[in-house]
A = this chain, B = another copy of it.
Amino acid sequence: MCELLGMSANVPTDICFSFSGLRARGGRTGPHKDGWGMAMYRDRQVWSIHDPRPSADSDMAEVMSQTSLKCDIVISHIRQANVGNVCLPNTHPFSRMLWGETWVYAHNGQLEGSDKLALDHYHPIGSTDSERAFCWILGRLAARYGDQRPSLEVLSSFLYELTSGLKQKGVFNMMLSDGDSLFCYCTTKLHWITRRAPFKKATLSDEDVSVDFKEVTTDKDVVTVIATQPLTEDEVWNQMEEGGLCVFNAGEVVFKRNTV
């Protein structure tokens, strides 16, 4: 399996504290040593890093855990390979263009029969079931809405349909973004926390690192962090519902649907 980390914030915010915790699980406190990647959006433009090395040992991951690059949305992933070799083209997150925006996606889980997902416009370059499912999702969106991007509500409802379909094939925890919203779907494990004033101190579970968010925020900041497992030991994280889609925008939940 793998672990996911996401962030949605209403002001450009750095991810280095949370990434330090995630990074340790990539070969030190966790077994997810088959590469890591990160996509960071600011003002809807995204930059990305991909490294097939264990994040715990990676010099590049060390740089990223110490560098306070500010962004609005982050999707990061540490991999424990099931399907597909350990190599750059199989390293999440994946990206493609749709409706003039760069969509980024990462997946935790495994899908049975993903090779039967019919593809049209989008094709994988690697050999993971994850990338194939991403290509299928974007292909479905393009087929349904053509060049015309639907409203966030309509889009989220249809994404819920698509992701619920993929849930039938196995484990499908995923994060997807167009640079505006962060779409998170959970079939087994995703946790999230929204930090806002009054901010407090937090301590990582995987590293001996604390941060007092009061010192690095203003009263207006709203920052949501989503992760496979809670990253801090002294905060209460929400568990996402199994079979639930949760959409975050500027740090707030803007759409939620689940099977219950």
Q: Which residues of A contact B (CB under 8 A)?
A: 45-53, 58-60, 63, 67, 69-70, 85, 87-89, 95-97, 102, 104, 122-123, 125-126
Contacts and interface: CB of A to CB of B under 8 A. Distances in A.
Nearest to A39: B88
Nearest to A52: B45
The 10 A-B pairs at the shortest CB distance, nearest first, are namely: A47-B51, A88-B102, A88-B95, A48-B50, A47-B60, A59-B69, A49-B49, A63-B67, A87-B102, A46-B88
A218 B24 CA distance: 34
Nearest to A69: B59
Contacts of A125: 96, 122-123, 125
A63 B63 contact: yes
A125 B98 CA distance: 12
A46 B70 CA distance: 25
A87 B102 CA distance: 7
A200 to B, nearest CB: 28
A14 to B, nearest CB: 10
A131 to B, nearest CB: 10
A126 B123 CA distance: 11
A47 B88 contact: yes
A49 B122 CA distance: 22
Contacts of A122: 125
Contacts of A123: 123, 125
Contacts of A126: 97
A51 to B, nearest CB: 4
Contacts of A45: 52-53
Contact of A49 (B48, B85, B97, B104): B48
A12 B96 CA distance: 33
Contact of A97 (B46, B50, B87, B102): B87
